Amino acid sequence: MDRTELLGMDLEELCGVAESLGEKKFRGKQLYHQLYRRQNLCLDTMTDVSRRFRTLLAERATLYLPAIRQVQCSEDGTVKYLLELDDGARVESVYLPEEERTTLCLSTQVGCAMHCAFCATGAGGFVRDLSAGEILAQYLVISREHGLLNQSINIVFMGMGEPLLNVEAVLKAFAILTDPSGCALSRRKITLSTCGIRSGMARLAQTAVRPKLAVSLNASSAEQRRRLMPCERQYPLAELLADCRRFPLRKGERITFEYILIRDVNDQPADARRLVRLLREIRCKINLIAYNECPGLPFRSPTGDTILAFQNVLVEAGYSAFIRKSRGPDIQAACGQLTTRPAEVPGL
């Protein structure tokens, strides 16, 4: 008999499970509270849930967390986890502690189908989408490892994969993460990064409670973006920016444009001036990220002076432009460096 996986079920689904096993709906609410609010995945210790219900769940359902296959610790405090899922597929997730905030970077797919030229994840190809439960499981694993229960944290869907190609699972996980009866995280501290999947952006625009939107731009012209990001052929820059202009932002909300600066590719003042024109009339801020070099890829990081010169053009044009420090590059945990392969550790 196939067992039902409980992790990833929302409140309504867990109440349905309770009723299907002859229990009252409130038993499903108790289970929901245990799984997400208390981060308790052991049926035996759910003492406010009836013994009969727990016995039936143990017979007919599963509660699965990914196995931690490798942990790498950066000199800056970043910790990268290689997690193995139930079918043997692997993803990486990252814990990023800072003095003023703690951030978790979660994956939404195994691999990535976008094949951006500068990204190690895309170079490894696409395997499959993650379920809502597998997305939530990354949060629960890291939270339990670092004692984050009841702490205010940030989450970014910026790990492996394109979130808007798996939008329904991502939004379901987001709803549970931000439900006050669930994981109780602030929706204002959760950001989704996309290369610009138009159908997914339309789905987000129709969603009342949604993550903040970040768009991975990385180019100052359609031709330049096409060389770096094959998605430009299917999702042209002009149409993407038109969608951004129409996106229904809340009061005080801005779209974040992420721009990875690559030496002698897209990092010159002329690129910055084109970017100023591209983003006209969009309520936004710009995060500038020095390229994180990846083994086997030909691109290089720009110099510090080049980054500052690029930023100055944007700031003088009236844009909020921030230089984002990369975290964990020494363990290949920074933007664009995640893969499904265990790192080679000297001496092992």
Residues annotated as catalytic (active site), given as ranges: 92, 335
User: Which ranges of the chain does DSSP label H, i.e. alpha helix?
Assistant: 11-20, 25-32, 51-60, 120-123, 132-146, 167-178, 198-205, 222-228, 237-246, 269-278, 304-316
Residue 319: Cβ-neighbour burial (10 angstroms; 0-12, 13-18, 19+)? buried
Place of tokens 């820059």: 237
Q: What is the Cα gyration radius of the chain?
A: 21
User: What are the Cα distances from residue 343, in Å, to 70, 163, 260, 294, 327?
Assistant: 8, 25, 24, 13, 17
Q: Which two tokens stand for residue 56?
A: 């039936």
User: What are the Cα distances from residue 149, in Å, to 37, 145, 180?
Assistant: 8, 10, 13
Spatial CA neighbour of 228 closest among 267, 282, 269, 279: 267
The full DSSP string for 31-60 is HHIIIIIS----GGG-TTS-HHHHHHHHHH
Number of Cβ within 10 Å of residue 110's Cβ equals 22
User: Collapsing DSSP states into helix, strand and coil, what is residue 228?
Assistant: helix
| Whole-number Å distance between alpha carbons of 105 and 230 | 24
> What residues pair up with 81 in beta bridges, in sequence order?
71, 93
Residues contacting residue 75 through CB under 8 Å, at least 6 positions apart: 330
| Whole-number Å distance between alpha carbons of 154 and 159 | 14
